[in-house]
Amino acid sequence: MNRRYLICFLGITLVAGGLQAEEQKGIVAEFRAVEEAIRNQDQDPKILKETLEANIIRAMKGSISRRFFETKGKYLADLKIENLAYEKFENTNTFYVKYKSFIVRFDFLRDPERFIQEPVYEKFLIMDDKFDQDHEKPASP
């Protein structure tokens, strides 16, 4: 029985070996040229702002949902770009976002104005001293 598997494996390997792609020179240079053209492409400032704000809203939704799973609805109901403030930290992909009594640091791998993405790091802080009293969990049935 093991011989059958060995024979099948060798047969597949030999067939697949004959179907390999051929190496071709110049693909690396072509890739870099296309990447550079995309990077240097002028983009509409309105689209850049919309992409950034969509990334920030998505990041806040995820962060709140993870921390307040049972009561997330009351925090997410008012979550709109108009109800929060954000600031970019110097020449980085780090943004500080303030919403209700929360302030969050989000670090993005790439520029969140140009790429749709989730943050690679977040630090979630609650600014309200009375948070536990004001935001009690609903009673369990």
- Going from N- to C-terminal start, the domains of the chain cover 43-134
The pTM (predicted TM-score) of the whole model is: 0.66
**65 in Cβ contact with 124 (< 8 Å):** no
Tokens of 73: 């609805």
pLDDT in tens, 90-109: 999 999 999 999 999 999 99
pLDDT in tens, 14-25: 555 555 678 888
Phi-psi group of 100: left, alpha or beta (phi > 0 → left; psi -120 to 50 → alpha; rest → beta): left
